[in-house]
Chain A
Amino acid sequence: AQKVTQAQTEISVVEKEDVTLDCVYETRDTTYYLFWYKQPPSGELVFLIRRNSFDEQNEISGRYSWNFQKSTSSFNFTITASQVVDSAVYFCALSEARAGGTSYGKLTFGQGTILTVHP
């Protein structure tokens, strides 16, 4: 069975600090996809990134960056120079790819990390 663990329940930082949210996953599949979602106080889920298991390139998007390491089954998310608007719950998620590349729309989520950025 697949599992996603976000060890940090809550993180509190001061604006402009860098912060890393950890994500460790377990899966028996050789092909899978990893995701990060943001849930701001308004409650909706905002898609941030999707990463394929066969692509270990790190990715940077503005102040956001992701470090994917298959050797340690980790997919960590770093926010550089955090801002108050980054305050949210962040979820890491996993989708396994069956034969033909389909996961039937099923996602396994981590417990979420509550990030609070203080001014």
Chain B
Amino acid sequence: NAGVTQTPKFQVLKTGQSMTLQCAQDMNHEYMSWYRQDPGMGLRLIHYSVGAGITDQGEVPNGYNVSRSTTEDFPLRLLSAAPSQTSVYFCASSYTPTRQGLKAFFGQGTRLTVV
């Protein structure tokens, strides 16, 4: 049981390049989400998904695309990388057991630098 697996762990991109951050979970959770972490700003929600084929925007969606063709995978695409997208990215997988609120599981993070 691997939990939430993010790849790669580190990435350096040139401005204008595109890339996909991968996220996979093996817990059959319906909810998945992407956050970015910047100094002094905590983690901010980029996009989230409530099930296969259903995605929606979070707080900071510009410059990112997502899709969810399977329950397990939720990739994050940077269409044309910009230095402002230099950040640490976390993928989360979660579910809501009755009256226990949200149980979220985070990946190890991807440190992305755009030069």
Contact = CB atoms under 8 A, between A and B. Distances in A.
Nearest to B45: A106
B84 to A, nearest CB: 18
A104 B40 contact: no
A105 B96 CA distance: 8
A105 B92 contact: yes
A97 B42 CA distance: 21
Interface in A55-85: none
B52 interface: no
Nearest to B105: A47
A23 to B, nearest CB: 11
Nearest to B42: A109
A50 B102 contact: yes
A102 interface: yes
A102 B43 contact: no
B102 A111 contact: no
Nearest to B99: A101
Given A44-B109, A101-B96, A107 B102 contact: yes
A105 B88 contact: no
A91 B43 contact: yes
B42 A102 contact: no
Contacts of B44: 109
A97 B101 contact: yes
A115 to B, nearest CB: 15
A104 B109 contact: no
A116 B99 CA distance: 35
16 contacts: A35-B102, A43-B88, A43-B111, A44-B106, A44-B108, A50-B101, A101-B98, A101-B101, A102-B96, A104-B48, A105-B31, A106-B58, A107-B33, A107-B104, A111-B40, A112-B42
Given A35-B102, A93-B43, A107-B35, 14 more contacts: A9-B40, A33-B102, A44-B109, A45-B90, A50-B100, A95-B102, A103-B96, A105-B31, A105-B92, A106-B45, A108-B45, A109-B35, A111-B40, A112-B42
Interface of B: 29-33, 35, 40-45, 48, 50, 56, 58, 88, 90, 92-96, 98-104, 106, 108-109, 111
